[in-house]
Structure 1
């Protein structure tokens, strides 16, 4: 019996003005504000509310109008959405993730667990969010109503990306661009796999991260291992799966740490994915990948989402663990 459940979909019409774009989804957005956003705010470090203004300045107002439009529908302060968009940089220790970029006869597939806080509320409010123009999904995101930044997304221009947490022992790079908001720009603006890799590699970031990017061909699979100001590119070895958890892997013997207690599980999850992929005897179906991602050697207590993206088909599937939807 499957331990996961498929999530619903929200389509946003890009041809509508911002003031009207989110109104059809007001019920879902207000529910997310009351439950998920409230839980997120409780766990943010004390005294960070003033940082919303700094995030807005650092992003040159790029997300301000959208944040205000969504906040009005949700009945909240738009600055709360700006802070949520920088949550990764502010609370790095809460995040994890396990990611597979695999070659198949139908092009590459990017499958990942999103190990994210607060996992129970996030699972309840997870949606496939498609930004539509003339009946076509220009971008597709595994997100929640009100989200501005992203950690898992796909572009109709033939690429998908997923971010995993990693630590460098240094902390916040105050002049860097917030990671989730930069990845949103990459998915929105880049026109090819190559351009996405370049944009992820070159931007100075507020925090370290690992970003797996896949295109429409099997040789278009890479993990960009980012420090705030530098990048290493780790490409797939032939048709072998490219795997990422929560430690730097570029070069053998790299001693840089993972993220908090996640470091102790990072290598075990990596080995679990390797073993289960090695045992496969057939093409990687969605169900086979979901079986791997939900396995006890890969899934964590904070695994809130299972996501599968196939850029050649412009298709994203989002599931959440059924156990997180049960009453406490």
Structure 2
């Protein structure tokens, strides 16, 4: 079923871009409370957020956050912390993703796995269409109150999705990954420019980034720690990623419960796509729905058509638009 796409007008001042959220006040508060519940007792995060904000977060992003604060029951600092969820608590996230070429187009597919009460993150998932001069610049799949990107596409250019991973490298006072992805989707004008930025930029925490463009040669997984990077390309025209490093030496890094299933999901996704390469979004979704790929905590399933910018989004277990 076609999902409603909410337009973010980038020609407007930052404090006006999310004005439509006045119609979603209760949803914003419910989602923010969901994120913040997981920070209960972590007072050190709230004590240091002002210093981090001044050092790292752009004025435009802060203006967007301050507008959201103006229509919600939460302070701008609380909203910023909620937006930093991945960088602080990434061990709650799983995810499986793959990219393939079919009929001259690249299809970029992903499950977003994230535990949540009451199916909240699934039912309230939305597509955001960021525009300038009435033209789509990029799209993301996310939630109201969350201004970064975990999954996004720039029509005719590239798509990028984030998977969680853990290394032993120290965190950095640097750009949060979800904000970097939004910046790249907005400002990078090509796959190669996006790839270079995602490989070279110092970031706050570890991640795995599936980046795909519009030709068969434009598919990579960029393995990141805050300062290290390793990039692997496709095997037989397929590139898959779950939640473990394949190239980066990680010593005896920690492992979350989600990561413990990573290899099994990776092998199964590669097996399915290799045995019968999907030719359309529905066949990609069939792979994502496989019982050995999909998790009980999968909240979103999506397929990006990199050429057209079309997004097929399934809110797992949800009937809401």
- TM-score, normalising length: structure 1: 0.88
Deviation at 1:6, TM superposition (A): 5.5
Q: Deviations over 1:138-164 (max 9, x none)?
A: 110001111122111112460110011
Q: What's the secondary structure of 2:102's corresponding residue?
A: coil
Q: Is the 8 A contact 2:172 2:226 kept in 1?
A: no
1:50 partnered with 2:50: no
Distance 1:169 1:6 in 2: 42
Aligned position for 2:148: 149
Q: What's the secondary structure of 2:16's corresponding residue?
A: helix
Q: Is the 8 A contact 1:19 1:69 kept in 2?
A: yes
Aligned position for 1:274: 270
Q: Deviations over 1:155-178 (max 9, x none)?
A: 2460110011001134x5133322
Aligned position for 2:14: 18
Correspondence list, 1:100-249, <5 A:
100-118=98-116, 120-156=119-155, 158-170=157-169, 172-239=170-237, 241-249=238-246
Question: Would you say how many aligned residue pairs link Structure 1 and Structure 2?
Answer: 316
Distance 1:142 1:127 in 2: 6
Distance 1:211 1:243 in 2: 11
Residues 100 and 258 of structure 1: CA distance in aligned 2, closer, same or farther (over 3 Å): farther
Q: What's the secondary structure of 2:267's corresponding residue?
A: helix
Q: What's the secondary structure of 1:243's corresponding residue?
A: strand
Q: Is the 8 A contact 2:103 2:279 kept in 1?
A: no
Q: Deviations over 1:173-214 (max 9, x none)?
A: 133322111112111211111111111111112211100101
Distance 1:177 1:14 in 2: 21
Q: Deviations over 1:236-285 (max 9, x none)?
A: 1342x10000001127x9766574112221011112212222332x6521
Deviation at 1:300, TM superposition (A): 1.2
Q: Deviations over 1:60-84 (max 9, x none)?
A: 4341111112222335322222112
Distance 2:52 2:123 in 1: 27
Q: Is the 8 A contact 2:94 2:259 kept in 1?
A: no
Residues 287 and 157 of structure 1: CA distance in aligned 2, closer, same or farther (over 3 Å): closer
Q: Is the 8 A contact 1:257 1:263 kept in 2?
A: no
Residues 132 and 61 of structure 1: CA distance in aligned 2, closer, same or farther (over 3 Å): closer
Residues 51 and 95 of structure 1: CA distance in aligned 2, closer, same or farther (over 3 Å): farther
Q: Is the 8 A contact 1:150 1:180 kept in 2?
A: yes
Q: What's the secondary structure of 1:96's corresponding residue?
A: coil
Unaligned runs of at least 5 residues, structure 1: none
Deviation at 1:50, TM superposition (A): 2.9
Q: Is the 8 A contact 1:33 1:76 kept in 2?
A: no
Q: What's the secondary structure of 1:225's corresponding residue?
A: strand
Residues 268 and 214 of structure 1: CA distance in aligned 2, closer, same or farther (over 3 Å): same
Residues 187 and 258 of structure 1: CA distance in aligned 2, closer, same or farther (over 3 Å): farther
Q: What's the secondary structure of 2:109's corresponding residue?
A: strand
Q: What's the secondary structure of 2:258's corresponding residue?
A: helix
